[in-house]
Structure 1
Amino acid sequence: MSVSPLLQALRSGTQTAHQQLEDVTLGNKIMDGSLTPAEYHRILAWQRAVHEVLEPSVVGFTLGEYRYRPRFIPNTQDAAVADELPTTVGRVYVLEGASLGGSMIYRKLRTNAKLTQEAPFTFYHHQADWGLRQWRSFVGALNARTFTEEEIHQAVKSAQDTFATFARQWAATAG
């Protein structure tokens, strides 16, 4: 299956923001096993804060067979997504992409001897269980729909804004 123009635009339009965020959010320490309990707690506080800011605007979002699965706020069936579709798609692209890495992060956290007392790493364990399924469902829904150039532009702008929200929330958790 070929990649939709929307997904291509989202990937290329957020590549720099994605890399900049990875460079500052301790990903290297997760991967090399040097993450400390205090740093782990900062990452969790950041994840909670950013999801509490972003999730109210995407809870209840469905597209085809895809349905957004909240990480921190209650999953209410009656939630209405107020933003236009491209704006929501851009936001969900970043949120689902962030969860996609949860499986790898979970494996790395489990092997970090400094974090033994922090187990079972519930937030990342849940993402390891369903992150890839959610991502595939989301990508399938996007590939099944045609987006106009303007919608693609709006989705990319929304994804960039979402990365900026992740970065602002990271800075706010500095301690």
Structure 2
Amino acid sequence: MSEDQPLSAVSPVLHELRAGTHTRHVALEKRLPFFSNTLDLERYTRLLSAYYGFYHELEERLQHSPWMTHDFDLQARLKTPALRRDLQALGVSIQSLALCETLPALHSPACVLGVLYVLEGATLGGNVLRKQMSQRLGLEGHNGCAFLYVYGEATGRQWKAFLEFLGSVPLDAQARDQAVQAASSTFSCFEHWLERQEVLL
């Protein structure tokens, strides 16, 4: 997004998404063990395994959704391949992992946008987490930490590009509400899944 481009096209839905998911977002962040003293390589591996079970199924659903717009390059933004590489580097058998069955509903283009907002937003803190895992567990992109820095130095550019895409989709009040509900449901489903996998604080 150019510096002189007004945010008016993006701000209504972005503001509502941020406001509508803030409580769930903060609550989940507090329960993630990345900065916990109890986090060791075994627990990190279990955590990534749980992430895989959620991301794999949700990204599969997005890829096959009739509401997935062709204007968005989903293939270039899939996180499952990075998770798969990490888990293979950590010696995990992908075929043995549990997969999440309870996922946010995708029954409109607005719902897809809400889910994408959560998935894309989750990459923003990845660099901080990557540095933490490097210092504490000796992990880098090649041996178990590709997912946390999936866009590398392009993270900021990818987020701005997503915001441009988000702002380009015309959404009325009802559609914006659907997007917020889908985003909130994504956080909720993810937290419940991680809780069932016993990887949260």
TM range (shorter): 0.7 to 0.9
TM-score relative to the length of structure 1: 0.80
Please show how residues 4-153 of structure 1 align to structure 2 within 5 Å: 4-29=11-36, 35-59=39-63, 61-62=68-69, 64=71, 66-68=72-74, 69-72=77-80, 83-112=107-136, 115-116=137-138, 119-153=143-177
Give the whole-Å Cα distance in 2 for the aligned partners of 1:117 and 1:96: 23
Instruction: Please say if 1:168 is aligned against 2:192.
Output: yes
TM-score relative to the length of structure 2: 0.71
Query: What is the CA deviation profile of residues 135-168 of structure 1, one whole-angstrom value per residue up to 9, with x for unaligned ones?
Result: 2211111122331000000000000110011101
SS at match of 1:100: coil
Give the whole-Å Cα distance in 2 for the aligned partners of 1:146 and 1:117: 42
Residue 116 of structure 1 deviates from its aligned partner by 2.0
Residue 120 of structure 1 deviates from its aligned partner by 4.9
Residue 23 of structure 1 deviates from its aligned partner by 1.1
Report the equivalent of 2:99.
none
Q: Which stretches of structure 1, 4 residues or more, deviate above 6 A after TM superposition?
A: none
Give the whole-Å Cα distance in 2 for the aligned partners of 1:146 and 1:104: 34
Greater CA drift, 8-17 or 46-55: 46-55
Give the whole-Å Cα distance in 2 for the aligned partners of 1:51 and 1:107: 22
CA contact (8 A) 2:115 2:186 kept: yes
Give the whole-Å Cα distance in 1 for the aligned partners of 2:114 and 2:108: 10
Gaps of 5+ in 2: 1-5, 83-105
Residue 50 of structure 1 deviates from its aligned partner by 1.3
Give the whole-Å Cα distance in 2 for the aligned partners of 1:124 and 1:9: 26
Gaps of 5+ in 1: 75-81
Residue 56 of structure 1 deviates from its aligned partner by 1.5
Q: Aligned pair in 2 of structure 1 residues 58, 133: CA closer, same or farther (>3 Å)? A: farther
